Every structure is written in C-alpha cells, then in structure tokens.
Amino acid sequence: MKHIINCLVENQPGVLARIVGLISGRGYNIETLNVGPTADPTVSKMTIVVPGDAHVISQVTHQLSKQVDVIEVVNMTNRRHLDRELILLRVASQDHHGRVEVVELASLFNARVVAVQEDSVTVQMVGNQETVADFLRLLKPYEIIDISRSGVIAVGREVIEHERAK
C-alpha cells in the first residue's frame, strides 16, 4: 500500500537531504517527493509517498517526528484528504486519426492539450493518484515520447487538533 505523509519542516539548507537520507538509509523507498514553501516563509511542506505496510509507515513517521528540523508529521492515508498530481506528456501521433484519439481521451479526463507538433501532442493533466493511473493505462497503446510528473501533493479535509487550538 502507498502512504501519503505530509511533513512541515523548517526551511533550512540540508533538511531535504537529511529526511531523504533518513528514509532511504533504513531501506525504505520514496515513490514521490514534493517540497514547497508554505504561507510562512520559514516553513516548507513536504509530501512524501512511501510504499509499505503499517509497520514501515509507523517506523518512517516515528523517525521523522524525532528530527530536529521537523515541526509536524501527518500520515494522510487514512484521513480525509485531497491529493493531486500534475503530469505533462508528449504522445506520438503519426497521423490525424491518432492525434484525434489522444485529444478525445485527454478530454475525457479533463486534461488539456497544451501543444501540437507535427508528430506528437503534448497533454497536461491534473488528477488524484487513481485518475492519473487510469489515464496513463489508457494511453498504453500510444507511444509516450516524454513524461514529467510532479509527484503527489495532499491537503487534509478535516480539522486537526492543533488547528482547533489556534
């Protein structure tokens, strides 16, 4: 199972390297990692997707919580949340018919065609993990020339205790 972990961390040099080293040093894999600033410029939010069972995630969250630069760790997997991923991909389209099929498929997933070249179509899509996986599965018959994925970002949909205290 994949777990989504959100960490609020101090926006300091070396924090990302320490956290990645902590997780990988224990033999756990990071499937995706996304880091960005928050409304507070001294704090960054990391969204980490880690595959594993309950024991693996318990170990990862426990070790992350012990880090000096880590302010908060939340396993979002079993909480109400929204998650999204952005993908950009170039799909080969040798003829008009292939191009139309890719454009129609993109439309079904609310994806946007952002560029059309003579031999390919570039599509931008934003969706949750399942929707992105479904879209990519349906594109398998086509040749994907290039793909870039942002990694998952997530935000909770429920009030966490510390937020109530504010």
pLDDT tens digits for range 2-60: 999 999 999 999 999 999 999 999 899 999 999 999 999 999 999 999 999 989 899 99
Both 87 and 144 in a single domain?
yes
Tell me which of 94 and 40 has the higher pLDDT.
Answer: 40
Both 23 and 60 in a single domain?
yes
What integer is the mean pLDDT of 94-114?
A: 91
Which of 86, 127, 93, 95 has the alpha carbon at shortest distance from 110?
127
Select from 78, 101, 131 the last residue of a domain.
78
Select from 49, 78, 107 the last residue of a domain.
78
Q: How many domains does the chain have?
A: 2
For residue 98, the model assigns a pLDDT of: 82
For residue 95, the model assigns a pLDDT of: 81
Q: Is the pLDDT of residue 164 over 90?
A: no
What integer is the mean pLDDT of 124-135?
A: 96
What integer is the mean pLDDT of 135-142?
A: 95
For residue 160, the model assigns a pLDDT of: 56
Distances (CA, A) of 82 to 43, 91, 125, 153: 21, 28, 16, 8
Q: For residue 44, what are the domain limits?
A: 2-78
Select from 78, 110, 144 the last residue of a domain.
78
Residue 25 lies in a domain: yes
Helix or strand (DSSP H, E) at 20: helix 15-25
| Mean of the per-residue pLDDT values of the chain | 91
Residue 162 lies in a domain: no
For residue 159, the model assigns a pLDDT of: 65
